[in-house]
Amino acid sequence: MADKKIFGVTALFNNPDAITAAAKKAADAGFTRWDVNSPYPIHGIDKAMKMKPSTLGFVTLIFGLSGAVLALILMWWTMSVDYPMIIGGKPYFSLPAFIPVTFEVTVIMATVSTVVAMLAFFFGLPRNDHALHDTDYMKKVSCDHYGLVIEAIDPKFDERSTLEFLKDLKPLSTEVIYHPEKESYPIFEPRFILFLAGVAVVVSLGTYLMLNKLMYIQPFNWMENQAKIIPQTGSEFFADGRGMRLPVEGSVAKGFVPYPFEGETNPREVLSNPYFPTKENLELGQRKYLTYCSPCHGNFGDGDSRLQGQFPNPPTLHSDRGRNFSDGMIYHIITVGQNVMPSYASQVTREERWAIVNYIRVLQRAKNATDADIKLVKAE
Amino acid sequence: MSTDYSVEAPVVVGRLSLAEIEELIAKPMDTKPDKKFFLALTISGTALLIGAVCLLLTFYYGVGLWGNNQPVAWAFPIVNFVFWVGIGHAGTLISAILFLLRQKWRTGIARFAEAMTIFAVMCAGIFPIIHTGRPWLAGYLTPYPNQHGLWVNFTSPLVWDVFAVSVYFTVSLVFWYTGLIPDFATLRDRTTSKIKKIIYSIFSLGWRHSSRHWLHYEKAYVILAGFATPLVLSVHTIVSFDFAVSIMPGWHTTIFPPYFVAGAIFSGFAMVVTVLVFVRKIFDLQNIITVDHLEKMNKVILATGMMVGYAYGMEFFIAWYSGVQFEQFVFINRAFGPYAWAYWIMVSCNVIFPQFFWFKKIRRSIPAMMVIVILVNVGMWFERFVIVVTSLHRDFLPSSWGMYAPTLYDAGILLGSFGLFFTLVILFTKALPVVSIAEIKAVADGAQPTHHRGEHHG
């Protein structure tokens, strides 16, 4: 017995008046680490034990208020900043409509935080290895007795004199409680570890099957599989085995005009520009230039795009060669491509190509403006 | 039995000792279930299975199996949703509001009513989700940052509903579990089975019945009750907003929130009485769930039933008084149109039959109250049916009028929800203490210090 560490001494009572009187005496005797255990809360025991009122309400207050604020911030941010949308003609921040959700979030934050704070921080639960567990004392106070326990860590504790003190309270019985001997942890038993390993294997296998096999079994096909030919698939119906049909020989796309110098790198002659550089035409040219040309040639045709420094550099449009090209030659380059530049004929229509040509001319003139040009601009 | 109203009736009759009370409540958990238990479980399980099959078929073939169609697109699922959420309200009312009002008699029935709340909200939660037709997309109802850059519409009552019902469920569960912790500790200390001891130890979290803990625990209980009270009122209010915020004649009324809350308490109490009558008989809890308690609940049913009756009358009055032609038509159509039978079932079950509770003999007679509370349950289900279906089937545009008839699948899923509810209730009675052991001990005779010793007059 001597090597056992003492936890405390206990006394049992069988009626609420006796325990209240005993608690009062223990509090008056100046003990600090002591407690009363009872199967239900006894009225007035807090006063007898001289306990301070619970401060749990502050947790509720703080978390409840932060719940309200967080909910309002979330709704304000989502409904009026991140994705503002007018709904039912209400303002973006429509407080009356936000009240229900604010209220609900307040309630959930306040209640859950109160319970978690109480159990985890006020009580230090879960704790199943406390010395009082599995004692006769605990079994009695769990049912119909009232117990008083004075812990050994109390500064006034002395095994003999404290026990005498308890006996003076005329309890039903007293008991000395020791810390349990070295805890045995069944979780370290080989059988349990083997069991865990088995669970791990089963769970991994199950997860694998679930994610890689079961997930790809289609429970509902939502008309995804239909008895029709979809693009790029073959078909046994047609002699050539293609699902898609080729256009009839000699078909021409709507609005198609053949380009006479297709495939020539250095055409002997080129088309002449049919469009005048009107304001609308130049605006169209600017739009299309910024979309299709600027990624390589730069916003102002300097060839200073982010491709700069990567072989081969996109050329500037302000070189002498570029400036000396005829309109038709620039049109030709856009249409058939040059060096690594591909043809843009499929993305940019004929009219847009000519508009781009006109816009390039504007850029070229602006970059090499004469005094007369500047005067003209200033005059405007 | 003559009653002296100046003396409070004892909460536990027969002067049982604390150990006897514990023995009585813990008995179902300590003994093997008998034949009656399995018989009951078979019946409720069958109903549950029928519902499950109907639901599976619905998932496979789609919601076209139901009777829902234009113009009555809400129909059974929403009727059932509102019905079950309403049932849940009695539990919170008993456990929270009556706790704040210091009604000691609630102790015997609070745990059970809370459990019924949780189960009823579970049943309710199924319906809006399946009503969407694509239940696997229900996750989009939560506001989370997603790749679409979209958020839920926080100004919509349907989103309020998601928040209200999920918060209600969570808070009810937390409340319930908090109340169960000391009972788990008591069960842990009395059980002789090793496995049960491990389970109870885990759930009791190592509770030690310490007075220093009880202090905070009681405080937390008051706080939880204080939050649950406005919460329960908010939930059915928000459910009623689903209707009241729309511009449907028959729905667009400001009386809906209080009317729905009163109806919820009405139907919930009826359901609690229905189930408790069986439970107290089967588990010999007549001393703890006394006829006095049932009588008090019947009084609540009588009172809330009259509130509901008042609401029915007031709806008619406002329809006339507002001078809105459509509103007037809807109410006349309710009472005398093609769904008049449903309307009169509702009125007779909810307003007329509960009037029998004015008689004390009937309030205290088990068979009589059984008949009336079941009629109330039926009537309250029809109330939601009347609200949903009669308003929708004939609205502003006569060219789009139509009739609604449920299909067998609708009925099967409704039956299944009852099956789920009663299966959970039956399993609960066998797995957990149906009465709060700690609370009932605290209100037993002689459980508290006598006031003569002066300990707490200071």
Positive or negative torsion for Cα B129, B133, B139, B143: negative
Q: B448–A90: do the CB atoms touch at under 8 Å?
A: no
pTM of the model: 0.77
Q: Of how many residues is chain A composed?
A: 380
Nearest CA in chain B to A89: B155
Write the pLDDT tens digit of every residue in A188-235.
788 888 999 999 999 999 999 888 887 777 666 677 778 888 888 888
CA B158 centroid distance within chain: 21
Query: Cβ contacts (< 8 Å) between A85 and chain B: which residues?
Result: 153
Nearest CA in chain A to B227: A107
Partners of A341 in beta bridges: A338
Among the partner-chain residues B155, B185, B458, the one whose CB lies closest to the CB of A97 is: B155
In order of B116, B297, B423, the CA distances from B277 in angstroms are 14, 12, 17
Among the partner-chain residues B149, B154, B447, the one whose CB lies closest to the CB of A101 is: B154
How far away is chain A from the Cα of B260, in angstroms, using its nearest Cα? 16
Query: Cβ contacts (< 8 Å) between B215 and chain A: which residues?
Result: 41, 46, 51, 53-54
pLDDT at A2 over 60: no
**Predicted local confidence at residue B455, as pLDDT:** 45
Among the partner-chain residues A20, A54, A125, the one whose CB lies closest to the CB of B207 is: A125
Partners of A35 in beta bridges: A149
Write the pLDDT tens digit of every residue in B267-317.
999 999 999 898 888 887 888 888 888 999 999 999 999 999 999 999 999
Q: B154–A112: do the CB atoms touch at under 8 Å?
A: no
- Using alpha carbons only, give the angle A184, A133, A169 rounded to the nearest 5 degrees: 140
How far away is chain A from the Cα of B413, in angstroms, using its nearest Cα? 21
Query: Cβ contacts (< 8 Å) between A139 and chain B: which residues?
Result: 189-190
How far away is chain B from the Cα of A185, in angstroms, using its nearest Cα? 13
Which of these ranges, A155-159, A179-183, A200-204, B83-87, has the smallest mean pLDDT?
A179-183
List, in sequence order, every beta strand (DSSP E) within B4-52: none
**Predicted local confidence at residue A272, as pLDDT:** 81
Q: A41–B212: do the CB atoms touch at under 8 Å?
A: no
**Predicted local confidence at residue B378, as pLDDT:** 94
**Predicted local confidence at residue B350, as pLDDT:** 93
Q: Of how many residues is chain B composed?
A: 458
List, in sequence order, every beta strand (DSSP E) within chain A: 6-13, 34-37, 146-151, 173-178
Q: Where are the domains of chain A?
A: 1-183, 186-216, 279-374
Q: Which phi and psi angles does A68 have, rounded to 5°?
A: -60, -45
Mean pLDDT of A263-286: 85
Tell me the pLDDT of chain A averaged across its residues.
86
Q: What is the C-alpha to C-alpha distance for residues B251 and A94, in angstroms, rounded to an integer?
A: 23
**Predicted local confidence at residue A211, as pLDDT:** 82
Say what the ipTM of the complex is: 0.90
**Predicted local confidence at residue A316, as pLDDT:** 87
**Predicted local confidence at residue A67, as pLDDT:** 95
Nearest CA in chain B to A17: B449
How far away is chain A from the Cα of B82, in angstroms, using its nearest Cα? 18
Write the pLDDT tens digit of every residue in B85-142.
999 988 888 888 888 888 888 888 888 899 999 999 999 999 999 998 888 888 888 8
Q: What whole-number percentage of chain B has pLDDT above 70? A: 95
Can you list the residues of chain B whose pLDDT is less than 70? 1-11, 13-15, 451-458
Q: What is the C-alpha to C-alpha distance for residues B210 and B208, in angstroms, rounded to an integer?
A: 5
Q: A143–B210: do the CB atoms touch at under 8 Å?
A: no
How far away is chain B from the Cα of A200, in angstroms, using its nearest Cα? 22
- Using alpha carbons only, give the angle A249, A255, A260 rounded to the nearest 5 degrees: 75
**Predicted local confidence at residue B4, as pLDDT:** 60
Tokens of B9: 């009736």
**Predicted local confidence at residue B306, as pLDDT:** 94
Q: Which domains, from first to last, does chain B contain?
A: 51-141+151-444 (1.20.1630.10)
**Predicted local confidence at residue A380, as pLDDT:** 77
Superfamily of domain A279-374 in CATH is Cytochrome c-like domain (1.10.760.10)
Q: DSSP 3-state assignment of B378?
A: helix
> How is residue A234 annotated by DSSP?
B
Q: Are B36 and B430 in contact (CB under 8 A)?
A: no
Pick the closest to residue B154 from A108, A67, A94, A109 (CA basis).
A94
The strand order across the sheet containing A173-178 reads: A34-37, A146-151, A6-13, A173-178
CB pairs below 8 Å between A and B: how many?
Answer: 208
Query: Cβ contacts (< 8 Å) between B453 and chain A: which residues?
Result: 17, 20-21
